[in-house]
């Protein structure tokens, strides 16, 4: 990771020095272990603030719309796929963007780390090969890296950027992983069982819309939940059916567009298993339309409106 950090810093510094871009969007150090934060670099001397590690979980494509001037972005596999979809939907311009591709070996889920530590405060974390050393005031415990990765990373089939101008690091080998058997179990449930499952999950929803804000593909100028005429949802998150309705509509809106990056799942402060719903929708699109979002600039989205050229 140190080599990639250095390569990102040098690349960003060069792009800014040569005035090829006005802004570099990447990751900086976070205030907590295993957490990095989006970092916006405008001057060459600030490039040293950029880092790369197992805490670079945000999908940076969410920060690129309405950016004036030419922008460079550090993109892992899922970020690059979101960029592809945003380009196809005319939300960002390919000509005004420099994509710095970085292969991704997966990102650590801080929530999983907290569960493994059973509430003990994490002060320091260190990744050594396939192990993660977690340290606190009175403990030091080692866990397997794979058991701490985000669920979306465990099933990711595109860890390498699909679109880039500059590629840093060696490509990652794609591995088939069946560790998320719970999602397969969801497919086996009857419609009534699925409804009961999501009713239970979404009963915890506080309707904060963090999932919507984190998603790079949620960019409607006015979301249907904010409409006053007509009123689609009640304002109370105590209405479970409205919570289900919100997530169902959001999932359908993402059909053929979602890259299954897990941003919505990670953003949820209530720990709701949104990835189960999203993963089901993504797999259905693949099965029905033989389409995988974000892997090709030329391939037309399956649910795109037909264009009548006369």
In this prediction, residue 222 carries a pLDDT of 87
Do 97 and 115 belong to one domain?
A: no
Q: Residue 185 to residues 149, 179, 198: CA-CA distances in angstroms?
A: 20, 12, 14
Q: How many percent of the chain have pLDDT more than 70?
A: 95
- Give me the number of domains the chain comprises: 3
What burial letters (b/e) apply to 271-291, b meaning 16+ CB within 10 Å?
ebbbbbbbbebbeebeeeeeb
Q: Are 209 and 233 in contact (CB under 8 A)?
A: no
Do 122 and 227 belong to one domain?
A: no
Task: Please tell me the distance from the alpha carbon of residue 63 to that of residue 263, in angstroms, as a whole number.
Answer: 13
In this prediction, residue 182 carries a pLDDT of 47
pLDDT of 63 over the 90 cut: yes
Is 201 part of a structural domain of the chain?
A: yes
Do 50 and 143 belong to one domain?
A: no
Is 168 part of a structural domain of the chain?
A: no
Is 222 part of a structural domain of the chain?
A: yes
Is 252 part of a structural domain of the chain?
A: yes
Interval 196-212: pLDDT, tens: 998 999 999 999 999 99
Task: Please tell me the distance from the alpha carbon of residue 196 to that of residue 23, in angstroms, as a whole number.
Answer: 47
Mean pLDDT across 279-308: 82
Is 169 part of a structural domain of the chain?
A: no
Mean pLDDT across 82-99: 95
Is 170 part of a structural domain of the chain?
A: no
Comparing CA positions, the residue from 226, 251, 236 lying closest to residue 205 is: 236
Mean pLDDT across 8-15: 97
Q: Domain of 126? A: 110-148
The band of 308, judged by pLDDT with boundaries at 50, 70 and 90, is low
In this prediction, residue 178 carries a pLDDT of 46
Do 97 and 144 belong to one domain?
A: no
The more confidently predicted of residues 236 and 41 is: 41
Interval 231-245: pLDDT, tens: 788 777 778 888 989
Interval 222-231: pLDDT, tens: 888 888 777 7
Do 20 and 97 belong to one domain?
A: yes
Predicted TM-score (pTM) of this structure: 0.89
Do 199 and 261 belong to one domain?
A: yes
In this prediction, residue 305 carries a pLDDT of 54
In angstroms and rounded to an integer, the radius of gyration of the C-alpha atoms of the chain is 20
Do 93 and 115 belong to one domain?
A: no
Cα three-residue angle 200-205-209, rounded to 5 degrees: 145
In this prediction, residue 77 carries a pLDDT of 95
Is 157 part of a structural domain of the chain?
A: no
Cα three-residue angle 210-216-220, rounded to 5 degrees: 80
Do 74 and 127 belong to one domain?
A: no
Interval 136-147: pLDDT, tens: 999 999 999 999
Which of 46, 69, 101 finishes a domain? 101
Do 196 and 237 belong to one domain?
A: yes
Do 10 and 43 belong to one domain?
A: yes
Task: Please tell me the distance from the alpha carbon of residue 190 to that of residue 177, in angstroms, as a whole number.
Answer: 25
pLDDT of 187 over the 80 cut: no
- Pairing verdict, β 71-75 and 36-41: unpaired
Comparing CA positions, the residue from 244, 241, 240, 254 lying closest to residue 294 is: 254
The band of 6, judged by pLDDT with boundaries at 50, 70 and 90, is very high
Mean pLDDT across 264-270: 92
pLDDT of 310 over the 70 cut: no
Is 162 part of a structural domain of the chain?
A: no
What burial letters (b/e) apply to 172-190, b meaning 16+ CB within 10 Å?
beeeeeeebeebeebeeee
Query: Chain-wide mean pLDDT for the chain?
Result: 89
Task: Please tell me the distance from the alpha carbon of residue 128 to that of residue 176, in angstroms, as a whole number.
Answer: 23
Do 97 and 114 belong to one domain?
A: no
Do 32 and 129 belong to one domain?
A: no
In this prediction, residue 181 carries a pLDDT of 43
């Amino acid at each position: 990771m140190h080599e990639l950090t250095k390569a990102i810093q040098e690349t960003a510094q060069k792009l800014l020095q040569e005035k090829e871009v006005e802004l570099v969007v990447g990751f900086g150090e976070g205030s907590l272990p295993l957490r990095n934060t989006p970092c916006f670099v405008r001057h060459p001397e600030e490039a040293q603030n950029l880092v790369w590690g197992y805490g670079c979980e945000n999908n940076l494509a969410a920060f690129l719309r309405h950016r004036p001037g030419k922008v460079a972005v550090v993109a892992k596999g899922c970020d690059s796929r979101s960029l592809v979809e945003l380009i196809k939907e005319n939300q960002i311009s390919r000509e005004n963007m420099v994509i710095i591709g970085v292969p991704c070996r997966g990102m650590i889920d801080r929530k999983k780390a907290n569960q493994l530590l059973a509430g003990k405060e994490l002060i320091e974390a260190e990744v050594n090969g396939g192990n993660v050393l977690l340290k606190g005031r009175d403990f030091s415990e080692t866990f397997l890296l794979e058991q701490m990765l985000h669920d979306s990373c465990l099933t990711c089939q595109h860890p390498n950027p699909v679109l880039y101008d500059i590629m840093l690091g060696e490509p990652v080998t794609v591995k088939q992983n069946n560790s998320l058997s719970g999602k397969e179990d969801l497919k086996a449930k009857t419609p009534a069982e699925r409804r009961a499952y999501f009713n239970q999950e979404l009963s915890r929803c506080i309707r904060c819309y963090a999932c919507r804000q984190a998603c790079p593909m949620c960019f409607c100028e006015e979301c249907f939940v904010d409409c006053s005429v007509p009123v689609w949802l009640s304002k109370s998150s105590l209405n479970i059916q409205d919570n289900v309705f919100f997530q169902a509509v959001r999932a359908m809106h993402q059909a053929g567009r979602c890259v299954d990056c897990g941003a919505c799942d990670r953003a949820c402060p209530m720990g709701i298993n949104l990835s189960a719903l999203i993963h089901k929708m993504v797999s259905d699109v693949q099965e029905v339309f033989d389409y995988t979002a974000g892997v090709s600039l030329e391939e037309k989205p399956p649910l795109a409106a037909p264009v009548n050229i006369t």
